[in-house]
Amino acid sequence: MCFDTTVPPRGYRWWYVDALSEDGRQGLTIIAFIGSVFSPYYAWARDRGETDPKDHCGLNVALYGEGGKRWSLTERGRGRLQQGPDALVIGPSALSWDGRTLTIRIDETTVPIPSSLKGTVRITPHAITPGPYQLDEAGKHFWWPIGPCGHAEVAMEKPSRAWQGEAYLDSNWGSEPLEDGFRQWDWSRAAHPEGAAILYDMQRRREGSKTLALLFDREGNARDFDVPAPAPLPSTLWRIARSTHCEVGSEARVLDTFEDTPFYARSLVATHLAGAPVKAVHESLSLDRFKTRWVKMLLPFRMPRLR
């Protein structure tokens, strides 16, 4: 998992997991950050000339579905970070990799209403893909879909939830702030009869737009598929534009909006990709919006910082 990676000054690395239950009633996302890309504290520190990404770490956990939504992201300093090749500890929570399964032990506090978020999530990819994709021409941003399709086992103590389902695992990293490289993007991943279908639409600041359309089989092999026609989706309550792609003869639609924030939306979307109807975990990110002062002033209410 490269948990002992060196993150350059002003840079970032994150490991991302999402999963949906077999019955479709539960879902989660988990993101472990070193150099938290959406941290106002990290942005303000860079403005002051302080550029240590290890001083801005956190584990973001979001639970969705029956029983209500739970969300946490507490930022912590370098004194609460431990790194090893196959282990990452951030505050009271930890990730470990045994060569087959990623185990995430969660011990966090929700916001804005404090409550305990505690349990264990295990993600077992069907296969590991060979390596990263370069997202920009300068080689400052990379994405590695580590395990595009896999299995999740969720055992939460607080709140009490237990389920299994299909899962996804990836990692992103870069040597400059994310907003320096991108204006916005729409990304989605979907379980597919062949394995997993991924779309990545990027509006880059220096090099224009770029789209990836990748179909992964269960052995981790990837092939490009023809990018279907653009399919605009309804914007969010915060007026974040959402868009995906859908093959001719079908219609893309939003089934649920998991997160609706001033600069980011996470949704469940139905569409048709690579010859099959799919349900996709979809994100829309406006980094132009994130850069604004008023958004950064709002974020501490959802992202407390503890040393």
- Summarize pLDDT for 243-295 with one digit per residue, the tens: 999 999 999 999 999 999 999 999 999 999 999 999 999 999 999 999 999 99
Helix (H, G, I), strand (E, B) or coil at 58: strand
Among 234, 233, 231, 291, CA closest to 262: 291
As a whole-number percent, the residues of the chain with pLDDT over 90 amount to: 96
**What gap in Å lies between CA 77 and CA 61, rounded to an integer?**
18
Q: Look-up: residue for tokens 């990730």?
A: 95
Q: In the 8-state DSSP scheme, what is residue 111? A: S
Extract the tokens encoding 54: 């290890």
Domain-wise residue ranges, the chain: 12-306
Q: How confident is the model at residue 131 (pLDDT cuts 50, 70, 90)?
A: confident
Evaluate whether 185 touches 172 at the Cβ level (below 8 Å).
Answer: no
Give the CATH number of domain 12-306; options: 1.10.630.10, 2.60.40.10, 3.30.565.10, 2.40.370.10.
2.40.370.10
User: Mean pLDDT, to the nearest integer, of 65-81?
Assistant: 94
Among 85, 60, 77, CA closest to 5: 85
Helix (H, G, I), strand (E, B) or coil at 118: strand
Question: To 10 degrees, the CA torsion angle through 123, 127, 131, 137?
Answer: -80
